[in-house]
Amino acid sequence: MKHLAILLVLCMGLSACTGDEPAQKIDLSKREAVEVRDADDAVTYAYLPQYSHSVSYLRHNLLVEYLKNETGYNIRQIFPDTFDEHMRLVGQGKVDISFSNPYVYIKTAHRYGERAFAQVIETSGHKRFRGQIICRADNASIQTLEDCKGKRLIAVDLTSAGGYLYPMGQFYDHGIRQEDFAEVRFSPGPGGKQEKVILAVYAGQYDIGLIREGALNVVADKIDIRQIRVVAYSKYYPGWVYSARKDLDPEVLAKIKAALFKLSMDEPAHRPILEKAHFTRIVPANDAEFDSVRKLMAVVGIDLDK
Amino acid sequence: MTAMKLGIRGKIYCGMISIVLLTGLMIAVPVRVMVERALSQETLNKGMSMATTLAARSQDFILGMDFLYLKEMMDKAIQSGNDVSYSFILDQQGQVLSHTFKNGFPVALKTVNPVPAGEPSRIRFLDTGKELIYDIAVPVVIGDMRLATVHIGLSKTRINRTINSLLWTMAVLIGCAVLIASLTGAVFADQIIRRVQKLHQASEQVLKGNLNVTTAPGLKTACWTLMDCRNAECPAYGQDRQRCWNIEGTQCPSCREIKFAAKSDACRNCRIYRTVSGDEIQALAESFDAMTRSLKHTISELEASRKTIAESEKKYRRIFESSMDMVFVTDCRGRFLDINQTGKTILGTESAALAPDGFSFPDVFSSPSEYADIQTDLVRQGFVKDREFTLKTISGNELQALLSSSCQIGSDGELLGCEGIIKDITQRRNMEQQLLQADKLASLGQLSAGVAHEINNPLGLILGYTQLMLRDEPENSQKHEDLKTIEKHTRNCKTIVEALLNFARKTETKKMLVDVNRAIEQVVTVIRHQFELSGIAVQTRYDPELPQVLGDTEKLKQVVMNLVMNARQSISAAGQITVTTRHDARGRRVAIAVADTGSGIPPHVLTRIFDPFFTTKPTGQGTGLGLSVSYGIVQEHGGEITVDSESGKGSLFSVILPAAVQTG
């Protein structure tokens, strides 16, 4: 009986054993209200959200930091969720420096008086770029633009240049109109819209997709891009453009322009900034350089006032 | 308080419950630790995954300053699991971007778990006082730029509740297992106890002497059926209760040569043993039965041996006790361990005890030197044979005895004890002495008779011529007086010569039937008056049934007269003389005893009193022929005369005469 009692005590004792590690005492009773922070007084820098915010951040954060240091202004990158929001913020004067595609620029210039002041030379060495019409590589039914008729189509955004306007112009050049497709949809927002188009085609959700050239490389680490086939390229059109709010202080603009034009791949300190932004150089530009795009928009039937 | 003792049932219960409890404990404790670790780890993994997901998903909303969406994400995180206590996001400046607390943000949480640069995450175990919380912090990183830090709070208390719930479930299961174990134990215990009790009862029966008990059940399969054996000579053949390995002399080729003592081991490899042997209790019961059978057999043999030994003991005891010699056994110190009845009689002990305290073998010896000599020989050669010695009885009397003894010598040469026989040869020695005396007296008698015969004739002539000469001489003359003196002394000489002739039985004896009592009475009548004048009382005790003897009345009266006169002379002043007659019917003898209260006879002259001319009286007061003549008369009548005397206490003369044969 004594042994049994010892055993029971042992059982109870061992059952009480736990593996708790020491805990740090903390007092949660002292509380504070979290304030909603107001927008500070800064020069705002917005990158048209053709990619996700994080990609936008990764590509332009160093550039923004560089501009801060070069100009001495408090320059803050803001992240609109959609092209429309970008344009809306531009219209509301909340974007001082806008880096957008020619389509958005033409619209905002038309609507809000944005002034183009610089263009970027991309890693391809050109300041122009083009769009791509893609399908799944194993989709044998699509070999030519004609084959695209009656197919489901997805594009980046109605306001996307490389992801809608330029490749759609290519269809129009071949007599294929928007109504010829079984379905035309745009990538759901916010952000990451180029990737979403590629992924939608990759997944077979849509037969053909419209993207800007180079977007496939962005998703090369996510999918096997060999499964994607480029059906056709658009013509080359002007590339992305820096524009300034119409009433931006000229001095501020001048300092920013100077800083941007100063960037060089030959400069070790500038090289990572440009590489991150996928630029090789930033060169001066003016509004007339985008007239070809204005014509294309007219062909496609885009109303700049809408 | 006496500790309660557990029986087999209790021990089995305790054992099974202990096993179940111990097993349960051995399972529960590691399971609890494992479950706790697994749950904690899973919770942490879940929290880490949640925080990592939140950090990844919140990047764009942080960049886009979409606090509403961030808040929704935080709230959804909290709703995704019961164990998520809180979530919040801190920017790089430590400002709260979003959180799930309802009444303001706890200030302490801002700094409690910072994630060092380069670290992917950090977990901190917090005690809020109400609950234990794992704070999981994961930085929101874009490229190598850190935007903010997501914190998820996971409640350990809730994990503990889950663990406790699990433990309770296990406790209930263990309880059920204990119950089942107890029931199972009861079944096994009953079986075992029933069989053990049967063994116990059987052992008690054996203790009471009943060896006809059987504890093992009958055989379901016997060796002879298993082996298809037909050997009726095998003792195991036909056995339905005994296992063959418990039977001696089985005839199987495999065990025929094996001795019974080695069978229990040798048979273990046998096919029969492996096939039909039972469990340990069965084996115990079979061994017990075999043991009782063996015991019974052994006891029977012992009984027979005991009977034989008892008969032998009885026989040798009878020899021991009926021996006419003293037989004894002593220990190493000479103390008597056993003495037969004759021995006790010789030693003079009347009690049931062997001998009085302190009276041991050495005390038997009258002379210590004799004992020393005999003891030396005993130790040296291990025995002594027919060694004569003087034995001293308990009362101090001395006897002549022969000792034959052997001793037991131990391995170390020490004396262990002695056994021996003592033969009382006192009577034989006395007989030899008497024979010697008789021979001596016979020789003296022949010599005396020859001399007396030669002297008797000249004495007759001298007396004749003296009487003739007396006639011629006038009385009162000198010559007449001289001749009277010659006649007187010649007559004295003639009396002596006649006595010598009587002693030598050379006188004529006229035998007839004699009434001894009457003859004695005639003698006593003559002397009583004269004796009484001297203060000596004479008592007579006649046996009225005394038979007559064939003899010469006058000579027998002379014997009585001589003995009475001797008695008278031994009493210096007053005293008593007792004359007794007795008939020894068995020996057909007549005994005459003359006892006095006189001075007795010294021992050193006791053997010479019947010699002719031996006297202790002064010269001229006795001839020394009285007892010699009496001796001769008694011898002539076919009897014997003995004396028993103790100096200072008196003497007893006994005359034994053969009774006359009654004819007609």
Q: DSSP secondary structure string, B317-386? A: HHHHHH-SSEEEEEETT--EEEE-HHHHHHHT--SSSSS-TT--GGGGBSSHHHHHHHHHHHHHHSEEEE
On chain B, the residues whose CB falls within 8 A of the CB of A191 are 60, 64
Subunit contact B127:A25, Cβ cutoff 8 A: yes
In this prediction, residues A11-31 reach a mean pLDDT of 70
User: B618 phi and psi, to 5 degrees?
Assistant: -65, 155
Lookup result for tokens 């927008």:
A39
Lookup result for tokens 């021992």:
B603
CA distances from B110 to A26, B96, B99, B153, B197 (A): 11, 8, 11, 13, 77
Q: Cβ distance B347 to B364 under 8 Å?
A: yes
pLDDT band at residue A5 under the 50/70/90 scheme: low
Mean pLDDT of chain B: 84
For B209, other C-beta atoms within 10 Å of its C-beta total 7
CA distances from B393 to A97, A132, B234, B375 (A): 157, 155, 68, 19
pLDDT band at residue A254 under the 50/70/90 scheme: very high
The secondary structure of residue A269, as a DSSP letter, is: T
Choose among A1, A21, A26: nearest Cβ to B6: A1
Subunit contact B127:A28, Cβ cutoff 8 A: no
Q: Is the model's pLDDT at A261 over the cut of 60?
A: yes
pLDDT band at residue B511 under the 50/70/90 scheme: confident
On chain B, the residues whose CB falls within 8 A of the CB of A14 are 25, 28-29
Min Cα separation A177/chain B (Å) = 35
- What pLDDT, on the 0 to 100 scale, is given for residue B402? 92
Per-residue pLDDT reduced to its tens digit, B495-510: 877 777 766 655 667 7
Mean pLDDT of chain A: 88
On chain B, the residues whose CB falls within 8 A of the CB of A37 are 95
Q: Is the model's pLDDT at B2 over the cut of 50?
A: no
CA distance B654 to B651: 10
The residue with greater pLDDT, A5 or B18, is: B18
Per-residue pLDDT reduced to its tens digit, B124-154: 989 988 888 889 999 998 888 888 999 999 8
Choose among B14, B60, B108: nearest Cβ to A3: B14
Q: Cβ distance B615 to B622 under 8 Å?
A: yes
- What pLDDT, on the 0 to 100 scale, is given for residue A11? 54
In this prediction, residues A2-12 reach a mean pLDDT of 59
Subunit contact A21:B125, Cβ cutoff 8 A: yes
Min Cα separation B45/chain A (Å) = 17
Query: Which of B24-28, B195-199, B537-541 shows the lowest mean pLDDT across its residues?
Result: B24-28
- What pLDDT, on the 0 to 100 scale, is given for residue B506? 58
Subunit contact B63:A28, Cβ cutoff 8 A: no
Subunit contact B103:A31, Cβ cutoff 8 A: yes
On chain A, the residues whose CB falls within 8 A of the CB of B6 are 1
The residue with greater pLDDT, B445 or B632, is: B632
Q: Is the model's pLDDT at B516 over the cut of 50?
A: yes
CA nearest neighbour of B441 among B555, B606, B558, B612: B612
Closest-approach residue (CA) in chain A for B37:
A19
Q: Is the model's pLDDT at A146 over the cut of 90?
A: yes
The residue with greater pLDDT, A256 or B72, is: A256
Min Cα separation A76/chain B (Å) = 11
- Which segments within B493-543 are labelled E, that is strand? 512-514, 536-541
In this prediction, residues A276-282 reach a mean pLDDT of 91
Closest-approach residue (CA) in chain B for A55:
B142
Q: Is the model's pLDDT at A172 over the cut of 90?
A: yes
On chain A, the residues whose CB falls within 8 A of the CB of B24 are 11
Subunit contact A11:B37, Cβ cutoff 8 A: no
In this prediction, residues A80-100 reach a mean pLDDT of 90
Most B-contacting residue of A28, A57, A276 (CB-CB within 10 A), to test interface: A28
Q: Is the model's pLDDT at A263 over the cut of 90?
A: yes
- What pLDDT, on the 0 to 100 scale, is given for residue B16? 79
Q: Cβ distance B136 to B49 under 8 Å?
A: no
The secondary structure of residue B134, as a DSSP letter, is: E
DSSP-derived secondary structure for B98-156: EE--SS-EETTHHHHSPPPTT-S-EEEEEE-SS-EEEEEEEEEEETTEEEEEEEEEEEH
Q: Which two tokens stand for residue B56?
A: 């990844």
CA distance A214 to A220: 10
Q: Is the model's pLDDT at A21 over the cut of 70?
A: no
Q: Cβ distance A239 to A129 under 8 Å?
A: yes
Closest-approach residue (CA) in chain B for A16:
B29
Q: Which residues contact B662 (CB under 8 A, 6 or more apart)?
A: B547
Beta bridge partners of B406: B383, B419
Chain A interface residues facing chain B, Cβ-Cβ under 8 Å?
Answer: 1, 3-4, 7-8, 10-11, 14-15, 17-34, 36-37, 52-54, 56-58, 61, 77-81, 190-191
Q: Is the model's pLDDT at B648 over the cut of 50?
A: yes
CA distances from B632 to B362, B507, B571, B641 (A): 44, 11, 25, 10
On chain A, the residues whose CB falls within 8 A of the CB of B156 are 20
Subunit contact A7:B67, Cβ cutoff 8 A: no
For B645, other C-beta atoms within 10 Å of its C-beta total 21
Q: Is the model's pLDDT at B255 over the cut of 90?
A: no
CA distance B408 to B329: 11
Choose among A15, A23, A81: nearest Cβ to B32: A15
pLDDT band at residue B1 under the 50/70/90 scheme: very low
Query: Which of A207-216, B428-437, B507-516 shows the lowest mean pLDDT across its residues?
Result: B428-437
In this prediction, residues B245-265 reach a mean pLDDT of 77
Choose among A4, A30, A57: nearest Cβ to B107: A30
- What pLDDT, on the 0 to 100 scale, is given for residue B619? 60
Give this complex's ipTM.
0.70
- Which segments within B475-547 are labelled E, that is strand? 512-514, 536-541
CA distances from B493 to B450, B457, B487, B501, B507 (A): 15, 11, 10, 12, 16
Subunit contact A31:B105, Cβ cutoff 8 A: yes
Query: Which of A13-17, A34-38, A147-151, B383-387 shows the lowest mean pLDDT across its residues?
Result: A13-17
In this prediction, residues A246-275 reach a mean pLDDT of 93
The secondary structure of residue B227, as a DSSP letter, is: T
Tell me the Cα Rg of chain B.
Answer: 64
On chain A, the residues whose CB falls within 8 A of the CB of B106 are 26-31
The residue with greater pLDDT, B1 or B22, is: B22
Burial class (CB in 10 A: 0-12, 13-18, 19+), B389: buried
Angle, in degrees to the nearest 10, between helices B626-636 and B426-472: 110
Q: Is the model's pLDDT at A55 over the cut of 50?
A: yes
pLDDT band at residue A50 under the 50/70/90 scheme: confident
The secondary structure of residue A225, as a DSSP letter, is: G
On chain B, the residues whose CB falls within 8 A of the CB of A8 are 21
On chain B, the residues whose CB falls within 8 A of the CB of A15 are 25, 28-29, 32, 167
The C-alpha angle with vertex B15 and arms to B12 and B18, in degrees rounded to 5, equals 145
CA distance B566 to A297: 200
On chain A, the residues whose CB falls within 8 A of the CB of B18 are 3-4, 7
Instruction: Please report which helix (H) or strand (E) contains residue A7, including its range.
Output: helix A2-15
Amino acid at B124: R
User: A99 phi and psi, to 5 degrees?
Assistant: -115, 105
- What pLDDT, on the 0 to 100 scale, is given for residue B664? 45
Beta bridge partners of B151: B88, B137
Q: Cβ distance A196 to A187 under 8 Å?
A: yes
